[in-house]
């Protein structure tokens, strides 16, 4: 037989779950902010790249790869 005082309180467990979900959401938002900054730097680099004087010398396949990478970064 289980004593009534030993049983975990359902309300206490629900509060702990909410706290851990809020912490998890905060962590995900921080990671998203870091990922967005990285994506912005990549996109900025790809925008500037065609203005390089040697960009005309690359092969057609490499231009297609550039275009696909640029579109994926947006």
Task: For residues 44 and 20, give the distance between their C-alpha atoms in angstroms, rounded to a whole number.
Answer: 36
On whether residue 5 sits in a domain, the answer given is no
On whether residue 63 sits in a domain, the answer given is yes
Q: Which domain holds residue 29?
A: 10-73
Say what the alpha-carbon torsion angle 71, 64, 43, 56 is, to the nearest 10 degrees. Answer: -140
On whether residue 32 sits in a domain, the answer given is yes
The answer to whether residue 8 scores a pLDDT higher than 70 is no
Split into its structural domains, the chain has a count of 1
Q: Six-digit token pair at 5?
A: 């005082």
pLDDT digits (tens, 9 = 90+) for 27-71: 888 898 888 888 889 888 888 888 888 888 889 999 899 889 888
> Are residues 45 and 69 in contact, defined by beta-carbon separation less than 8 angstroms?
no
pTM over 0.75: no
Among candidate residues 74, 19, 8, the one with its CA nearest the CA of residue 44: 74
On whether residue 2 sits in a domain, the answer given is no
């Amino acid at each position: 037989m289980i004593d009534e005082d030993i049983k975990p309180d359902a309300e206490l467990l629900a509060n702990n779950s909410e706290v851990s979900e809020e912490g998890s959401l905060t962590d995900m938002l921080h990671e998203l902010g870091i990922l967005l900054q990285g994506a912005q730097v990549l996109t900025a680099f790809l925008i500037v790249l065609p203005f390089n004087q040697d960009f005309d010398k690359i092969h057609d396949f490499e231009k297609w790869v550039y275009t696909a990478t640029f579109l994926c970064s947006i």
